Structure formats: structure tokens, C-alpha cells
């Protein structure tokens, strides 16, 4: 059932961080109703982020469509959207509109720049938001330009995950106060929050503004990736002295040469020497020597290889839904286990059943379908 079973959440369909937030909540058992745009004849998308949902297709620009969503809000616990600031207000579905129908409703808003501030109305993407947060500047090799870490930091870690966390916090508070509130989840804020430890390091004098020169950014020879003899890669994280000593033993390194572990001046030379050693064996050969030990070692796997690794298979870390390999719900719960109940629905696949479950009469549903305010079947 999942720990959020019984919670009803409305998702105004968007892209990226919004669907990821919806996936996290629905994986945990919440009933997330996705409000899609009408798309007659559209098939179910191959989209992992939209799994575990029911879809209701609504024309939000029509009066009847707007009223339909407001009626859903009357019995929902939360709603979230990912439009630019002011868009839902112009649609008549802003926080005041929705919370007037249900004062306990928690209203989540996902944007890049936030609901206010000089940049609030500007277009942007993950790379821009993490650029402003200080995160992007810190990622990359010494003397080279910053490297985008996919869109993991802004869209997902600092975006969708932040919104899901904010919504659950808001829901917990509403249970005590009986009042809803607006959650302003901005990716620039979330990405900045993810950098908290590095602000601590900087305050302690342990982090410089020059990327590729710090403990955790690939400068240290004992915390980096290395190419192997077969052109594949492994990663090392032997930070603690006892783990570093085991690395020296397992890789058959000269203890005297590699003794100055924390001498940053020695890192470039030691990295070059270690790189030569790591290229003498294949990835699988290094796995046989180091994997599962306290070296803090792992092979660097692609998304096509990861599901087949014995550890991931033993934990069922990846599952297949509708023929699509994908990550299993996380985290895990001992009593209320999360589960994937189905893949992504086609837009409007559940229109009639959702409306019926929310108290719409058969005549009302027929009228909405005939007017075009809603579309689909199910």
C-alpha cells in the first residue's frame, strides 16, 4: 500500500521535476491524479516518471474544465503545478481559487527561480538554476569549464524531490492545524541547499573556489574514476586512512610513494601513477580484487548494465513495467511497502472513473465529455 496510502493529490501535468515529484508520491502509495491536456488518440507514453497514476484529460481554459479541477480540490489533500508564476492564477486555479474550496489544501508550486525575485518570470532550465546556486561552478576538472551533471541537481535533487518533501511536510502540518498553505519549491533554492556541506567546508578553509582542486571533486587520487585495460571505468572513494591503506594493498602500490595521502601537492603525481596501475587490469579483474571490500570501490556501470549487477538484482533495485526497465520505488519501508501499480497512462485514460470516484454523477460526466471540457474514457 505504501506509507502515503489514502492521500489524494492532484497533479497539473508538466515536465521534468513535476512528474518526478508525482512519481515519488505515487510510489509511496498516494493517489496522484494527473490532469493532462486532451490528446485524442494519444497512446500511453514510455515515461517512467508518470507511472502509478490515473489520468484525467481536462481543457483548463474552459470554464467547465476549471470548475472540474476545483471540485476535485474539494476532496483532495494537495495539488501541485510547475508553471511560471501567475499562470494558474490566470487560469482561475491559483492558490486562492483552490484553497477557497478546501482551506486544508496544500498547494505545491515548482519553478526554477521561485515565485518572486528579479528572475522569477524568466525562462530557464536545470543548467541555469544550478549555475546561479553555486553548484555548477564547483563541478568539473581543474582548468576546464564546468560540466553539467545531467539534470540531476536542479530538476530532480533540488527540484522534484524538494517539492515532494515540501508537500509531505505541508500535509503533516495541515493534519495538526487544519489549514493548508502554499509550498514555493524553487530549483535554485534546492540546488543551493544541496551545496550546504560545501559551504561548511569553505567556512572551515577546506574548499577552494577552483574546481578540480578539492577533496571530493576529482582532484584527489583516492577519490576519482579510472580507466581500465578494457576501456571501461571503476571508481574509488578511499578517503579514510584504513580504507586508503587497503587500496594500497589491493592495488599493490608502493606504500612509501603513496604515503602522503592528504598532501594536495602530491595528488597530481600520485594520480598519474595510480592511473597507470588501474589500466593494467580489466574492470572485471579489478572487481574480483576490490569489490565488496573496504577499499570503497565500484565499477562504473551504464544504465543498461546497472540492472544486471548482482547486488542490484539481489535487492530488486530495478524492475520492469510495461516492458521498460526502471528504478524500483525508494526508500523502502518495513511495513507499508511501496509498489508500482502500473505504468504511465494515456492522457485521459481514466477520465470517467476518476470523475465518478470524486462524486460526479453520470449525467455530469456525460455533459463534460460532450462539451469537450474533459476527454478520454476509463
* Residues designated catalytic: 125, 155
Task: State the Cα–Cα distance between residues 367 and 163, nearest whole angstrom.
Answer: 35
| Cα angle value 61/82/126 (rounded, 5°) | 140
Q: Are 126 and 153 in contact (CB under 8 A)?
A: yes
Q: Are 34 and 53 in contact (CB under 8 A)?
A: yes
Q: Are 30 and 7 in contact (CB under 8 A)?
A: yes
E strands along 106-256, which residues? 106-111, 182-186, 223-227, 233-237
Rg (CA), the chain: 25
Whole-angstrom CA distances from 245 to 241, 260, 273, 277, 315 are 6, 11, 16, 16, 30
Three-class secondary structure assignment of 78-113: EEEECCCCCHHHHHCCCHHHHHHHCCCCEEEEEECC
From edge to edge, which strands make up the β-sheet containing 223-227? 223-227, 233-237, 297-299
| Grid coordinates given for 209 | 573556489
Three-class secondary structure assignment of 163-189: HHHHHHHHHHHHHHHCCCCEEEEEHHH
Pairing label, strands 78-81, 374-375: unpaired
Backbone angles phi, psi at 318, to 5 degrees: -125, 145
Alpha helices in 139-294 (DSSP H): 161-177, 187-194, 196-203, 241-250, 267-278, 283-290
Instruction: Report the candidate in 223, 218, 231 with the shortest Cα–Cα distance to residue 297.
Output: 223
Tell me the HSE value of 152 on the side-chain side, using a 13 A CA sphere.
6
Pairing label, strands 233-237, 297-299: antiparallel
Q: Are 49 and 17 in contact (CB under 8 A)?
A: no
Amino acid at each position: 500500500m505504501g506509507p502515503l496510502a489514502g492521500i489524494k493529490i492532484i497533479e497539473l501535468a508538466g515536465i521534468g521535476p513535476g512528474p518526478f515529484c508525482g512519481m515519488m508520491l505515487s510510489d509511496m502509495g498516494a493517489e496522484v491524479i494527473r490532469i493532462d491536456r486532451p490528446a485524442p488518440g494519444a497512446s500511453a507514453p514510455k515515461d517512467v516518471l508518470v507511472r502509478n497514476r490515473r489520468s484525467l484529460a481536462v481543457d483548463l481554459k474552459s470554464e467547465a474544465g476549471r470548475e472540474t479541477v476545483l471540485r476535485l480540490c474539494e476532496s483532495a489533500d494537495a495539488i501541485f503545478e510547475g508553471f511560471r508564476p501567475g499562470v494558474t492564477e490566470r487560469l482561475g486555479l491559483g492558490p486562492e481559487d483552490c484553497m477557497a474550496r478546501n482551506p486544508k489544501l496544500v498547494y505545491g508550486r515548482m519553478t526554477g527561480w521561485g515565485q518572486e525575485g528579479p528572475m522569477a518570470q524568466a525562462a530557464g532550465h536545470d543548467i541555469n538554476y544550478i549555475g546561479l546556486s553555486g553548484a555548477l561552478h564547483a563541478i568539473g576538472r581543474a582548468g576546464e569549464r564546468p560540466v553539467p551533471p545531467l539534470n540531476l541537481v536542479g530538476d530532480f535533487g533540488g527540484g522534484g524531490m524538494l517539492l515532494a518533501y515540501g508537500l509531505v511536510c505541508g500535509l503533516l502540518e495541515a493534519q495538526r492545524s487544519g489549514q493548508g498553505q502554499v509550498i514555493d519549491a524553487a530549483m535554485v533554492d534546492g540546488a543551493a541547499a544541496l551545496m550546504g556541506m560545501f559551504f561548511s567546508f569553505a567556512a572551515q578553509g577546506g574548499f577552494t573556489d577552483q574546481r578540480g582542486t578539492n577533496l571530493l571533486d576529482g582532484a584527489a587520487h583516492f577519490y576519482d574514476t579510472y580507466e581500465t585495460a578494457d576501456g571501461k571505468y571503476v571508481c574509488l572513494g578511499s578517503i579514510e586512512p584504513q580504507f586508503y591503506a587497503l587500496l594500497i594493498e589491493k592495488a599493490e602500490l608502493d606504500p612509501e610513494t603513496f604515503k602522503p595521502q592528504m598532501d594536495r601537492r602530491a595528488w597530481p603525481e600520485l594520480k598519474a601513477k595510480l592511473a597507470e596501475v588501474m589500466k593494467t587490469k580489466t574492470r572485471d579483474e579489478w572487481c574480483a580484487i576490490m569489490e565488496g571490500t573496504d577499499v570503497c570501490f565500484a565499477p562504473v556501470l551504464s544504465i543498461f548494465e546497472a540492472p544486471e549487477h548482482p547486488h542490484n538484482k539481489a535487492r530488486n533495485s530495478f524492475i520492469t513495467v510495461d516492458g521498460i526497465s526502471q528504478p524500483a520505488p525508494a526508500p523502502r519501508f518495513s511495513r507499508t511497502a511501496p509498489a508500482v501499480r502500473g505504468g504511465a497512462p494515456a492522457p485521459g485514460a481514466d477520465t470517467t472513473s476518476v470523475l465518478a470516484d470524486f462524486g460526479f454523477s453520470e449525467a455530469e460526466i456525460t455533459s463534460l465529455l460532450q462539451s469537450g471540457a474533459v476527454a478520454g474514457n476509463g
